[in-house]
Amino acid sequence: MAALVNELLDEEGLDLIFRNARTHNVWLPEPVPEEKLRAIWDAMKFGPTSANCSPLRIVFVQSAEAKERLVACMSENNQAKTSVAPVTAILAMDLEFYEEMPRLFPHNQTARSWFAGKPEHIKETALRNSSLQGAYFIIAARSLGLDCGPMSGFNAEKVNAEFFADGTWKVNFVCSLGHGDAGKLFRRSPRLDFDEACRIA
């Protein structure tokens, strides 16, 4: 494996981002500064999406008032950890992402027309690509020294009503950020190996 690692991302980098990284549920009381949140976006924003559509939108929930609103939307088993996380990101998709395509995909000025007036195509494209960007988000956060706790246990209608009342953005998933308490991690569970999960056609 070591011989295949790109010289710009060594074994330590792979450990940080993937192999030793864990999903955290218990958080140390260390704040996450706005500069770090901006650095996550700057690190992830060039990750590829189809036709550069880039539909991901993020609300970083930090204040006590905003946390209270979000906690009320979370499943019961996600409420306590959301309330104590330094930051919880609501990762959403913009259903009007195509309005930005003349700027984001400038070499084809017809790209907006691929989506405008086609709600099913908009939704499918926004969901797929915002999910892809959500993965970039986790990789960027880990690469900048933060731990992540992604969650899908929430009431989407409540989150949308509480944070996206105009209806343009819709929640995809939620991810807490901070410095996790490594002493409170569960034992690592197994993963499928290559031959179980992959085929070469």
Q: Within 73-172, where are the H helices?
A: 76-84, 101-104, 119-143, 156-163
Cα gap 182→91, rounded to integer Å: 25
Written as six digits, the tokens of 100 are 């930005």
In tens, the pLDDT along 97-135 reads: 999 999 999 999 999 999 999 999 999 999 999 999 999
Note whether 59 and 92 are within 8 A (CB). Answer: yes
* Global pTM value: 0.92
Checking if the pLDDT of 163 tops 70, the result is: yes
Phi/psi at 118 (5° precision): -125, 75
CATH number at residue 80: 3.40.109.10
Task: Determine what percent of the chain is predicted with pLDDT higher than 70.
Answer: 96
Q: What is the pLDDT of residue 1?
A: 46
Q: Residue 100: give the domain boundaries.
A: 43-172
Written as six digits, the tokens of 117 are 């007036």
* 15: in domain: no
In tens, the pLDDT along 35-61 reads: 999 999 999 999 999 999 999 999 999
* 27: in domain: no
* 104: in domain: yes
β-pair partners for 169: 94
* 146: in domain: yes
The total domain count for the chain is: 1
* 2: in domain: no
Checking if the pLDDT of 92 tops 90, the result is: yes
* 116: in domain: yes
DSSP character at residue 37: H
Give the full edge-to-edge strand order of the sheet including 169-178. Answer: 56-61, 87-94, 169-178, 147-151
Checking if the pLDDT of 78 tops 70, the result is: yes
